[in-house]
Amino acid sequence: MYTNKTKVQNYLMTNIDSSFDDQIEYWATAAEKYINNYTNRKDGFEASTKTKYYDGNGESELLINSFTSLTTVQILDDNSSSVGWTLTEGIDNDYITYPANDTPKYKLKLTTNSSAGAFYSGSQRIKITGTFGYATTVPKDIELVATILVAEIVKQSRDGGLAISQGLGDYSTSFETFSDTALRITDVRNILNSYKLLKI
């Protein structure tokens, strides 16, 4: 989670009664979802280990979700779940990752030494296990944005501008509130825009 009650209290320089702990956690979860959706980062900012499948494109380069490290890269046999090739990272091995000197990374490129000639065409033929997401720890400015968004709701609730309790099964009301807040607070919007991925 990108923020918590302690961070919100510190930001507001006030104590929040323990009876609102569940509500603060709900808003913090909603803020995280809002930030991920706004920036088009499905895997979020805190990296976690996952296995993902990608369609093969028949080329030597493959764009994938943002990642910090990869454990296994495999090309499956066509129309089968059996492994045709297990690739090893390295310039003298099968593939290298890009961008070369930065994280997160998002592209694989086969080397001239690769045991596979391409990321062979086929539906969900490329199986990749790795740590997907922006970073191993949430960037501090994203933490701050989440804290500001939750703190703004707390302030509105405290000052009578917003009902303190909302249905826990539906985040839509919080999303609308976060959108209004982000548009009102220029710094929040600028921070989120700097992390926003363009949809292609």
Kindly state the percentage of the chain with pLDDT values over 90.
74
> Contact 130/49 with Cβ under 8 angstroms?
yes
Per-residue pLDDT for 140 more than 90? yes
Burial 68-89, CB ≥16 within 10 A → b, else e: bebeebbbbeeeeeeeebebeb
pLDDT tens string 44-64: 999 999 999 999 999 999 999
Least confident of 67-71, 86-90, 164-168, 173-177: 164-168
Cis peptide upstream of residue 139 (ω within 30 degrees of 0): no
Would you list the DSSP string of 120-149? --EEEEEEEEEEESSBSS--HHHHHHHHHH
Give me 21's structure tokens: 């702990």
Other CB atoms closer than 10 Å to residue 195's CB: what's the count?
A: 17
pTM, full prediction: 0.76
189 pLDDT higher than 60 = yes
Q: How far is CA 82 from the centre of its chain?
A: 30
pLDDT interval class at 160 (50, 70, 90):
low
Q: Is the pLDDT of residue 172 over 70?
A: no
Going by pLDDT thresholds of 50, 70 and 90, the confidence category of residue 173 is low
Q: Which residues contact 23 (CB under 8 A, 6 or more apart)?
A: 164, 165
Q: What is the mean pLDDT of residues 128-142?
A: 95
- Please list, in sequence order, all residues whose beta carbon lies within 8 angstroms of the beta carbon of residue 152, skipping any fewer than 6 positions away: 177, 181, 185
Q: How confident is the model at residue 200 (pLDDT cuts 50, 70, 90)?
A: low
Give, in degrees to the nearest 5, the angle at Cα 46 between 75 and 101. 65
Q: What is the mean pLDDT of the chain?
A: 89
Q: Of 114, 68, 60, which is closest to residue 88 (Cα–Cα)?
A: 114
Give residue 84's pLDDT.
Answer: 94
